Amino acid sequence: MSDRFQKGFNAHQHGLLRTLYGELVPRLEYIRVRPGWHRLVDEMFAQLGRLPDRRGLRVARVETRNAGVLAIETTGLAAGAEDMIASTKEAARTTCEHCGKPARLVVKVSAPFIELGDRLLCVDCAHMFHKEIAHDHG
Ligand SMILES: [Zn+2]
């Protein structure tokens, strides 16, 4: 089996964000989050894009570093941007990386064909993911 929840952003959404906010949004390959966090990232760009003075601001990278840890690298400054980025990171700490529902559990991953690293998941996704990993071992 393969990892059904690989890190990567929705290409269609990325295209829309690029159209709306241009260089504020990094290239597709620099947004590395699983599907459950796509909405958080989408909303963050929408908020940053509405800042009145964001000429110097660029988001260089958005990446899942660890279970519940969203890393966001920026260059330049825009008043208000730090608060928006902080609240996005805060929301990620309680959001399932697979489906976007409230998260409860950290699942440790050690199966072949699955990217290594802990994941923050809701109860349903954790059960399902444990099953998939176990099935892979059998
Ligand atoms: Zn879930």
pLDDT in tens, 41-64: 999 999 999 998 887 899 999 999
The two counts, helices (H) then strands (E), for the chain are 4, 5
CA–CA dist 104, 37 (Å, integer): 15
Over residues 11-34, the mean pLDDT reads 95
Distance 80 CA to ligand 1 centre (A): 30
- Strand (E) or helix (H) holding 86: helix 81-92
Round the average pLDDT of the chain to a whole number and report it.
91
Which comes out higher in pLDDT, residue 17 or 105? 17
At residue 112, does pLDDT exceed 80? Answer: no
How confident is the model at residue 123, as a pLDDT?
A: 95
C-alpha 125 to ligand 1 mean position (Å):
4
CA of 30 to the centre of ligand 1 (A): 23
**12: how many CB neighbours lie within 10 A of its CB?**
8
| Cα of 98 from ligand 1 centre, angstroms | 5
Residues whose beta carbons lie less than 5 angstroms from ion ligand 1: 96, 98-99, 101, 122, 125
- Give the DSSP letter of residue 56: T
Cα gap 37→53, rounded to integer Å? 26
